[in-house]
């Protein structure tokens, strides 16, 4: 049984994200990606306006005139939502915790998938893969995904992105759309991400709280790392510039890496939780 307060929260998220899925993704779900979900249909003669990248060079050479490969959109895509639930997601200073925003983002993506009759699956990870829900479609399935995003309690505090990506690579053989939602306070794992981006459409969503970029002037304070438990004493007024540079540098490094490997990057903040593609 789901506690009444959690059930009410699921209903609230369902209402909000159903409308948001319509507003944000209407008519643009498949066009937002670089061509996965297409399967070969036929070869025909070249016609003016055809993309030259679709030319079938072997047939063209054999027939001594240009021919192109024609593809059609598959009826169903598979959407995998890979979510970082490490302890750092339990931080937030504005409209809620990062984890609350992560759940809402996951709900928008899941509802958008089923509105297009696509399958959606979920991987929750921290220091290890904690939960896997195989891809399916349907409202009941999406509500289960949202419930897990809201109530699942990870066993580990740390972040092992490499483990999660390796798990995804092992269970999803066919090309899919992969949304990786994390605060990316972890080693970058560029090699593993690059391999993933070559096989699948990869879109990374970085969830950040403003206080992770602009630390308030509070004098000397003790800070505890949520993932390691290490306590550090700092003079916040004297290290604000260094703190900002490191925070912005981390985000820019993730964005640059994603662009380098051909993956998408979306920056979402807890004080301005707007999801756009």
**CA–CA separation, 28 and 181 (whole Å):** 20
**CA–CA separation, 145 and 111 (whole Å):** 10
**How many residues does this entry show for the chain?**
277
Rounded to 5 degrees, what are φ and ψ at 237?
A: -70, -30
Helix (H, G, I), strand (E, B) or coil at 214: coil
Which residues pair with residue 223 across a beta bridge? 232
Helix (H) or strand (E) holding 101: helix 98-115
The ranges assigned to domains in the chain are 4-25+75-208+263-269, 40-73
pLDDT tens per residue across span 46-61: 888 788 888 988 888 8
Is the pLDDT confidence value at 39 over 80? no
Q: What is the mean pLDDT of the chain?
A: 83
Query: Do 54 and 82 form a contact (C-beta atoms < 8 A)?
Result: no
pLDDT tens per residue across span 86-120: 999 999 887 789 998 898 889 888 888 887 788 99
**CA–CA separation, 83 and 179 (whole Å):** 8
Rounded to 5 degrees, what are φ and ψ at 21?
A: -60, -40
Reported in sequence order, the residue ranges of 154-259 that DSSP labels E, i.e. its strands, are: 177-182, 201-208, 220-224, 231-235
Reported in sequence order, the residue ranges of 38-152 that DSSP labels E, i.e. its strands, are: 38-45, 67-73, 78-84, 119-125, 129-136
Is the pLDDT confidence value at 254 over 90? yes
Query: Of residues 133 and 211, which shows the higher confidence score?
Result: 133
Is the pLDDT confidence value at 208 over 90? yes
pLDDT of residue 273: 58
> Residue 277 — pLDDT band, cuts 50, 70, 90?
very low
Is the pLDDT confidence value at 85 over 90? yes
pLDDT tens per residue across span 145-197: 988 998 899 999 999 999 999 999 999 888 899 999 999 999 889 999 999 99
pLDDT of residue 229: 86
Region 4-25+75-208+263-269: CATH code: 3.40.50.410
pLDDT of residue 28: 46
> Residue 34 — pLDDT band, cuts 50, 70, 90?
very low
Question: Which DSSP state fits 210?
Answer: G
pLDDT of residue 75: 55
Q: Dihedral of CA 154/159/165/166: which sign?
A: negative
Query: Can you tell me the mean pLDDT for 203-229?
Result: 87
């Amino acid at each position: 049984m789901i506690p009444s307060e959690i059930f009410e929260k699921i209903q609230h998220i369902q209402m909000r994200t159903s409308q948001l899925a319509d507003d944000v993704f209407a008519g643009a779900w498949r066009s937002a990606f670089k061509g996965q979900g297409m399967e070969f249909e036929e070869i025909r003669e070249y016609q003016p306006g055809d993309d030259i990248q679709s030319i079938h060079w072997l047939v063209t050479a054999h027939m001594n005139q240009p021919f192109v490969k024609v593809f059609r959109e598959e009826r169903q895509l598979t959407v995998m939502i890979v979510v970082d639930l490490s302890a750092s997601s339990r931080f937030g200073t504005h409209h809620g915790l990062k984890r609350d925003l992560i759940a809402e983002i996951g709900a928008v993506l899941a509802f958008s998938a089923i509105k297009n009759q696509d399958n959606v699956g979920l991987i929750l990870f921290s220091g290890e893969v904690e939960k896997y829900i195989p891809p399916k479609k349907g409202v009941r399935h999406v509500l289960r995904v949202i419930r897990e995003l809201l109530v699942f309690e990870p066993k580990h505090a740390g972040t092992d992105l490499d483990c999660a990506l390796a798990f995804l690579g092992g269970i999803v053989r066919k090309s899919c759309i992969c949304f990786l939602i994390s605060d990316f306070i972890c080693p970058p794992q560029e090699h593993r991400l690059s391999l993933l981006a070559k096989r699948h459409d990869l879109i990374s969503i970085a969830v950040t709280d403003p206080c992770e970029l602009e630390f308030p002037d509070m004098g000397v304070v003790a800070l505890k790392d949520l993932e390691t438990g290490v306590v550090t004493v700092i003079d916040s007024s004297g290290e604000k510039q260094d703190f900002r540079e490191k925070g912005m540098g981390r985000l820019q490094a993730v964005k640059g890496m994603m662009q380098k490997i051909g993956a998408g990057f979306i920056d979402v903040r807890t004080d301005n939780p707007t999801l756009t593609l």
